Amino acid sequence: MQYKNKIKFMFKTSKIFHFYLFFSFLFLYSCSQTQNEINKFSPKSSFGYLVTEEPQASLVGIDILKKGGSAADAVVASFFMLSVTYPVAAGLGSGGVCIVHNRLTGTSESIDFRNIPILKNSIIGVPRAVRALSGMQARYGKLKWSTVVLPSERLARFGFQASRATSNISKNFSRLSGKQNFIPFVVDDLPINEGEIIVQNDLADTLSSIRLRGGGDLYFGDLGKKFYKELKKYGLKVNFEMLRDFQPFWQYTKKNITNKYTILSPLEGTTGTKSSEYIIRNLIDNDEFKNSNEQNKYLILAEFTGKALYSSFLDDFSSEISFQIGGEELENIINKSSLPNLSMWKNAGHDGTTSIIATDKFGQSIACVFSMGSPFGIGKQISGLGFSPGLAFSDDKTNWLESGIDFMSPLIITDNYNKEVIFIIAGTKGPSTVSSVSSVVLNTLSNNSLDKSINMPRVYFPFNPNELWLEDSINNEFIKLLKKNKISYKILTNLGHINAIYCPNSSLDLLSCEYISDPRGSGLALSGELF
């Protein structure tokens, strides 16, 4: 009998060992393989899906779904994790935009919490994300507030190994002027390396206060008082009421209806969402586009991205303009409109934006985008709080040109026939976002493969300069077509970043969904069930 018990114990121990070995292998595998390979390895889920640009944030979000949390719980937990592991784009000082859709009730809402200037003409923004997401979790969450905040607090306090995504954000100094000492991510001009341990005690204390007292503590509690006290050291004569009085404001979503689909976007919209809607709406049922070969589809899409950007700049989508890419008449249009030159975005690197998307078994779907206004925001941490304020969003055209805030594009698409969600998508990383989102949506709905569409080469027409921007994976036939038509072009490495979930049979059938974080980054898409 004693021998049999020993055998049973050894067998159980072996099972536990292999269980942990499997999960260790899965995590390491996810950090070293492409997203395509990960998705082939990952099984489908009946709990839901979550996609972010940073693996740690994806892991905590999917864990929340498996605990019975809603998509809102998972998104909020992932955001706080990003504030620890990916503050280049989603720190506690960030702002953003979210869309929430409830399949069971057929209702959808949006919340716009882009950072506004803390004072007139100030570049420092009111940190609106924490309070907005507190409101989202209170409105749509199922778990306790402390449950969604605690994992991030622990990671900040006890440390974590920098992922490839965390390391990569620190390596790009093309837009990090004066930020070469954003400790612990950039120290004496040297970026953190993948695998190095990062500990952030001040941030952990801040997250602890938020966990215990709620998100409001950053606005009208002890954290808020500390925040304003430190801002005064920058010479800003701020008043406590501005931070205290901010309230998240929920609005209905804007709906663009085509023959088969309804496109849901934030009511007030961004340049990104307005432009993406315009392109999708005009091309989804366009026979010329649908019947064209691959090369001509690239040109048609590029033409419409230019039209969309031009119309968005003028804030007028009612007037149609006619032009030929590369044509001389385009220069006259550019001069008359004073459309800014977007050349700075050719090699801009990271623009301080990111996204989280999720869907759950309760019928809730969410697409959120976040921005620090610039990589790491103002690039100076608030003493004792462990986070940097983000740059403020402004309608000023110069700000519009230099910041990625207004190019972010979160969309949810439903099927008009059964009213089910079929697409959750969010695009970030500069003006080419509008082309990236539109291309992925149009190609996926045409070929029913998100995996194929997200890996296709991308093209973008910025209007000014009068040239096409192409990813270096574009085929030679298209290059020949451009040369034949005497169209100028520039070859770039990547255009935009997409996180997407596609459910061809509707979100009601979670087992049919595809979920991908753009292989152009180092993110991770996960399902809520592994067995």
Query: Angle 71-85/201-213 helices, nearest 10 degrees?
Result: 160
What's the pLDDT score for residue 312? 84
| Angle, alpha carbons 514-36-360 (nearest 5°) | 30
What's the pLDDT score for residue 351? 75
Dihedral of the alpha carbons of 247, 314, 356, 206, in degrees to the nearest 10: -40
Q: Whole-angstrom distance between the N-terminal and C-terminal Cα of the chain?
A: 33
Q: Mind listing the pLDDT tens digit for each residue in 415-443?
A: 998 889 999 999 999 889 999 999 999 99
Radius of gyration of the chain (CA): 23
Query: Angle 145-158/129-140 helices, nearest 10 degrees?
Result: 140
- Report which of residues 207 and 317 the model is more confident about: 207
Cα four-point dihedral sign 261, 264, 269, 270: negative
The yes-or-no verdict on residue 227 having pLDDT over 70 is yes
Cα separation, 48 vs 445, in Å, equals 21
What's the pLDDT score for residue 178? 52
Contact yes or no for 321/339 (Cβ under 8 A): no
Which of 37-46, 111-120, 263-272, 295-304 has the least mean pLDDT?
Answer: 37-46
Residue with tokens 């039209």: 307
Cα separation, 150 vs 377, in Å, equals 24
The yes-or-no verdict on residue 233 having pLDDT over 80 is no
Contact yes or no for 350/172 (Cβ under 8 A): yes
Short-list 323, 306, 299, CA closest to 479: 299
The yes-or-no verdict on residue 10 having pLDDT over 50 is no
346, amino acid identity: K
Return the DSSP state at 124. Answer: B
- The pLDDT mean for the chain works out to 83
Which of 400-404, 426-430, 489-493 has the least mean pLDDT?
Answer: 400-404
Which of 343-347, 440-444, 461-465 has the least mean pLDDT?
Answer: 343-347
- Report which of residues 237 and 160 the model is more confident about: 160
Q: What is the mean pLDDT of residues 212-219?
A: 94
> pLDDT tier at 465 (50, 70, 90 boundaries)?
confident
What's the pLDDT score for residue 531? 39
Domain range list for the chain: 51-253+343-527
Tell me the pTM.
0.88
What's the pLDDT score for residue 15? 43
Q: Could you tell me the CA-to-CA distances from 354 to 5, 42, 54, 57 in Å, in that order?
A: 53, 23, 10, 12
Structure tokens given for 381: 């941490």
- Report which of residues 78 and 182 the model is more confident about: 78
**Helices and strands per DSSP (H, E), number in the chain:** 20, 20
Q: Which positions ≥6 away from 137 have C-beta within 8 Å?
A: 72, 73, 76, 145, 148
The yes-or-no verdict on residue 286 having pLDDT over 70 is yes
Q: What is the mean pLDDT of residues 211-215?
A: 96
Q: What kind of fold does domain 51-253+343-527 have according to CATH?
A: Glutamine Phosphoribosylpyrophosphate, subunit 1, domain 1 (3.60.20)
- State which of 216-230, 358-372, 510-524 shows the largest mean pLDDT: 358-372
What's the pLDDT score for residue 322? 77
Structure tokens given for 247: 């309230």
What's the pLDDT score for residue 40? 39
Other C-beta atoms within 10 Å of 349: how many? 18
- Report which of residues 131 and 322 the model is more confident about: 131
The yes-or-no verdict on residue 17 having pLDDT over 90 is no
What's the pLDDT score for residue 529? 61
Q: Which positions ≥6 away from 280 have C-beta within 8 Å?
A: 256, 258, 263, 438, 441, 442
The yes-or-no verdict on residue 130 having pLDDT over 90 is yes
Contact yes or no for 270/408 (Cβ under 8 A): yes
What's the pLDDT score for residue 315? 81
Contact yes or no for 306/299 (Cβ under 8 A): no
531, amino acid identity: F
